[in-house]
Every structure is written in C-alpha cells, then in structure tokens.
Amino acid sequence: MRRKLIAGNWKMNFTSEEEVTNFMVNLVPGMLADVLVCPPSIWLYMLKNSNCFIGAQDVSPHALGAHTGDIAASQLKAMGCKYVIVGHSERRTDHNETDELVKQKAQAVIDAGMIAIICVGETLAQRELGITEEVVTTQVFRSVPENATPANTVIAYEPVWAIGTGKNATPDDAQAMHKIVRAQIAKQLSQGTADSMRILYGGSMKPANAAGLLAMPDIDGGLIGGASLLVDDFNSIIDMVQ
C-alpha cells in the first residue's frame, strides 16, 4: 500500500515572513497523506518545526565547498529537509539541466539520507509528435539512480504543457502515463521497487480536479504549484485523500 504524498512547490513566491507564517498557521495536514511544503530555500528556517514535511526545490550536485550560489544536500538536511525536488521542468528549461545532471542531484539527495522527487514529463510539441512515452521513459531511464528505492525516491510525472497553464491531464491520460512510468521502473530496477515507489501527478492540480486524479490506481499524490500558494486550496486537496 503506497501512502499518498501531497507536495506543495511554492516556486519563487512569498516575499515576507508574514506571508509564510499566515500559510503555515492555517495549514491542516490531516492524517491520511504525507504532506510536504517546498518553499524557496530562504524560508526553510521558518518551517523547521512545522507540522508537515519540508523540502527544497533544488540542490547542488556537489558536496560542500567552492560552489557559489549552490546549496548542498547536507545543508538542506541540516535545515530539516526530508525531500528535495530535482529536475523540475522549470529548471530543465531555465538552467538547461540535463537528465545526467538531474541524476547526479538525485544521487546527492539519496546519499544525504533524504528523498529525491525526480520530475519527468513531455512538452506539448513532444505530445503532438506522439513521442510522449519515449520521452518520459528515456527521462526516467537517464535520471533515476541505480540505487533508487521506494524509501529514497519519488517520481513526479508532470506534463510540461500542464504546468501553470490551468490545463491538466485527464485522470485517464495521467493514469496511463503513470502506468508506463511504473513499468519503466520495473524494467530498470525491479518489479518490487516499481510496486512500492510513489508516482505523483503534477500539472495544474487544484481542488476542482484533484479528487479524480487522486482516485486513479497509479497516482500516489500530487506535486502542486499554483494551488499550493493558497492555503485553503492546498488544505482541500489534502482533504480529498481517502
């Protein structure tokens, strides 16, 4: 039985301690899902003793040392992080992150004793070309470390055309892709690993569509951007986990 994970990715939002406090005092994690908030790193210290898991949105592939602007996995761990998102499509696009770099980052997270949330997903152009399956399975093959287990890795299937656009994959389309991702994990790791590894859906998940997506057998939670900035919306998605 895979426990659902509802993960909020605040991206580069919230400019004051008041906004962060207001969100956190109103967050109601509930009992049925793991709840995770990934704020910009500058706010991690405020979430250290909160009633949910906390995570980072990126990590350096390097250990400590001369890497200006980077944050090491060990530093995120020291700040209380349990999870780190790697390979988000915005980083793949804005910072030219390759699957190879994403894999190194995931490995750094695993080595530090945290859980890597490895993001994969096709663009609209790739979907229209009919190469979604090939693109996503190749990303999984190249980005997921060989020592990934259900205890140290979560996959997030995030069709790029659905992120921040208000367009979401239908529950049936998302389920079909999650099944393909799970089969790929079985092929490259093992069937047991695939059966227990959590695969999140991300892409305009919101209160109006979350119940249908979360009801699908291979959808083990959500990676939520826009709707994770509004605490009432985030709480209602958490509430939908049965």
Q: Which is nearer to ligand PEP, 153 or 193 (CB)?
A: 153
- Please choose, out of 91-99, 142-150, 176-184, 203-211, the segment that lies near ligand PEP by the rule CB under 6 A: 203-211
- Cβ partners under 8 Å of residue 31, min gap 6: none
Does 158 bind ligand PEP (CB under 6 A)? Our answer is: yes
User: Which long-range CB contacts under 8 A does 186-192 form with residues at least 24 apart?
Assistant: 188/140, 188/141, 188/144, 189/144, 189/146, 189/148
Window of 104-112, 131-139, 143-151, 196-204 that interacts with ligand PEP by CB under 6 A: 196-204
Residues 6+ apart with CB under 8 A from 100: 142
Nearest-angstrom CA–CA distance, 125 and 139: 16
User: Cα(156)–Cα(7) distance, rounded to whole angstroms?
Assistant: 10
Binding status of residue 164 toward ligand PEP by CB under 6 A: yes
What are the phi and psi torsion angles at 79 (to 5°)?
-85, 0
CB 23 to ligand PEP: min, Å? 16
Q: Does 209 bind ligand PEP (CB under 6 A)?
A: no
Residue among 3, 2, 83 at smallest CA distance from 36: 83
Q: CB of 197: closest distance to ligand PEP in angstroms?
A: 18
The token duo for 55 is 């995570």
Structure tokens at 215: 């009801």
Residue 121 interacting with ligand PEP (CB under 6 A): no
132 lies in the binding site for ligand PEP (CB under 6 A) = no
Q: Which of 33, 223, 237, 241 binds ligand PEP (CB under 6 A)?
A: 223
Instruction: Say whether residue 8 binds ligand PEP (CB under 6 A).
Output: no
Task: Give catalytic status of residue 17 as yes or no.
Answer: no
The CA angle 157-226-143, to the nearest 5 degrees, is 25
Task: Verify whether residue 158 is a known catalytic residue.
Answer: yes
Binding range to ligand PEP, per CB under 6 A, among 15-23, 46-54, 101-109, 219-227: 219-227
The H-or-E segment that residue 26 falls in is helix 17-26
- Chain residues that interact with ligand PEP, rule: CB under 6 A: 9, 11, 88, 158, 163-164, 202-205, 223-227
For the annotated catalytic residues, the residue numbers are: 88, 158
